């Protein structure tokens, strides 16, 4: 069955190298964490900020500082952050042309004292010894350049599992996981966790160079690569985790569509082409499988299960997915097609959306928030 061979081959080609952070840590490297300034943008994030800061306080060693840039929160974000040991900075008024998240990170970086900056989303948390794993990974880069990390996706509800193939698309399209990635290096980076030496950050121009981008860390990673700065990207398995779109299926669909719409112009064409070819091979396998369902059911079942097991091996390193999720990959594939189609529509009508559901209309060269 040609479609099965192609699907298996492309899956192996795209995910042969899935870089994860080292499981074992050297406790004598605790001093590395002390070099870090962790900077987070928070707006009405009292639930997330509690989990995030508690995870830092539970590490075996604390970073130099945790800076929470409060974006005019109307809940208890500021109070909770202060109580849990963070240094809280009130975000100044947003200048024209800036996205709020980028402005918050730039504001925090201006006041940070660490030698290494770690910018991270508020919906994440560090796993046990996760900070030390990240610090050791960055040490392998001689504490220079850029390291971006795609957090491990912790899911609770059934609809959250529908993100499984979408995470694989993000990994594959980044060029981090394919057979040749060790030679070619990442084609881009990941958005939720961005690490950079202070010196390199300001030489690159920091978030000021990507102030209007809705995918700032992907943009900054590509800028670093073009500037000759070393970049690396890894999965956050065993180091940093996140939950995405926990507020219902509709939010998940809209959030992922917005994410792909924001990334569309920043994706490298070669890994993106192979990623789309991989999705196509999965679809053709399903079509051919329907034709074999009655003539060769055992043969089809064996091929199907082998492909599902291969997908499970990859999925286990991106989130807490299970065999039943990969056995249902045709449903996941259908969701991917719908979301990718929706993101194309968003891009075509020039709409961009952030993860909180606020839209930006691009018209006559000006960005305008919809209230």
Question: DSSP string covering 210-252, please?
Answer: GTT-SSHHHHHHHHHHHTT--EEEEE-TTTEEE----S-HHHH
Residue 354 forms part of a structural domain: no
- At 358 the pLDDT is 44
C-alpha span between 80 and 49 (Å, rounded): 8
CATH number at residue 171: 3.90.550.10
Residue 47 forms part of a structural domain: yes
Residue 45 forms part of a structural domain: yes
- At 367 the pLDDT is 39
Count CB atoms within 10 A of the CB of residue 23. Answer: 10
Residue 370 forms part of a structural domain: no
C-alpha span between 304 and 302 (Å, rounded): 5
Residue 315 forms part of a structural domain: yes
Residue 336 forms part of a structural domain: yes
**In this structure, what token pair is assigned to residue 202?**
């300001």
How many domains, the chain?
1
Cβ-Cβ contacts under 8 Å for 117 (sequence gap 6 or more): 36, 37, 39, 109, 195, 196, 197, 198, 201
Residue 359 forms part of a structural domain: no
For every residue of 291-336, DSSP letters joined together read HHTTT-HHHHHHHHHHHHHHHHHHHTTTBS--HHHHHTHHHHHHHH
Beta strands 116-120 and 193-197, pairing class: antiparallel
Predicted confidence (pLDDT) per residue in 223-254, tens digit? 998 999 999 999 999 999 999 888 899 999 99
- At 359 the pLDDT is 40
- At 370 the pLDDT is 33
Count helices and strands (H / E) in the chain: 15, 13
- At 289 the pLDDT is 87
DSSP letter at 95?
P
**In this structure, what token pair is assigned to residue 9?**
């081959």
- Per residue of the chain (371 residues), give pLDDT as tens: 788 899 999 999 999 888 888 888 888 899 999 999 999 999 999 989 999 999 999 999 999 999 999 999 999 999 999 999 999 999 999 999 999 999 999 999 999 999 999 999 989 999 989 999 999 999 999 999 999 999 999 999 999 999 999 999 999 988 888 888 777 777 678 999 999 999 999 999 999 999 998 888 999 998 998 999 999 999 999 999 999 888 899 999 998 988 888 877 777 888 889 999 999 999 999 999 888 888 888 888 999 999 999 999 999 989 999 999 999 999 999 999 999 888 888 776 644 444 444 444 343 333 333 33
Q: Which domain holds residue 22?
A: 1-349
The angle formed by the CA atoms of residues 88, 93 and 94, to the nearest 5 degrees, is 105
C-alpha span between 90 and 93 (Å, rounded): 9
- At 305 the pLDDT is 95
Residue 356 forms part of a structural domain: no
């Amino acid at each position: 069955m040609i479609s099965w061979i192609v699907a298996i081959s492309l899956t192996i080609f795209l995910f042969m190298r899935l870089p994860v952070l080292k499981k074992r840590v050297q406790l004598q490297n605790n001093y590395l964490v002390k070099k870090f300034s962790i900077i987070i943008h928070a707006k009405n994030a009292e639930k997330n900020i509690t989990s995030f800061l508690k995870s830092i306080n539970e590490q075996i060693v604390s970073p130099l500082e945790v800076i929470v840039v409060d974006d005019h929160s109307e809940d208890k974000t500021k109070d909770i952050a202060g109580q849990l040991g963070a240094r809280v900075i009130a975000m100044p008024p947003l200048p024209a042309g800036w996205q709020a998240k980028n402005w918050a990170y730039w504001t925090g970086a201006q006041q940070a004292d660490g030698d290494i900056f770690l910018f991270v989303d508020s919906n994440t948390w560090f796993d046990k010894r996760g900070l030390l794993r990240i610090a050791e990974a960055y040490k392998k880069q001689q504490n220079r350049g850029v390291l971006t990390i795609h957090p491990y996706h912790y899911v609770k509800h059934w609809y959250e599992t529908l993100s499984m193939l979408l995470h694989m698309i993000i990994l594959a399209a980044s060029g981090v996981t394919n057979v040749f990635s060790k030679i070619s290096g990442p084609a881009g980076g990941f958005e939720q966790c961005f690490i950079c030496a202070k010196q390199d950050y300001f030489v690159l121009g920091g978030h000021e160079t990507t102030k209007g981008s809705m995918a700032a860390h992907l943009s900054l990673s590509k800028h670093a690569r073009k500037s000759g700065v070393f970049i690396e990207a890894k999965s956050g398995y065993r180091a940093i985790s996140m939950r995405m779109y926990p507020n219902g299926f509709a939010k998940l669909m809209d959030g992922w569509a917005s994410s792909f719409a924001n990334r569309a112009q920043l994706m490298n064409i070669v890994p993106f082409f192979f990623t789309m070819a991989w999705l196509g091979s999965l679809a053709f396998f399903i079509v051919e499988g329907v034709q074999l369902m009655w003539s060769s059911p055992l043969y089809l079942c064996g091929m199907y299960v082998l492909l599902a097991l291969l997908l499970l091996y990859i999925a286990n390193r991106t989130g807490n997915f299970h065999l039943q999720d990969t056995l249902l990959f045709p449903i996941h594939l259908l969701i991917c097609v719908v979301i990718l189609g929706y993101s194309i529509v968003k891009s075509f009508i020039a709409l961009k959306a952030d993860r909180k559901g606020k839209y930006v209309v691009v018209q006559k060269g000006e960005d305008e928030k919809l209230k």
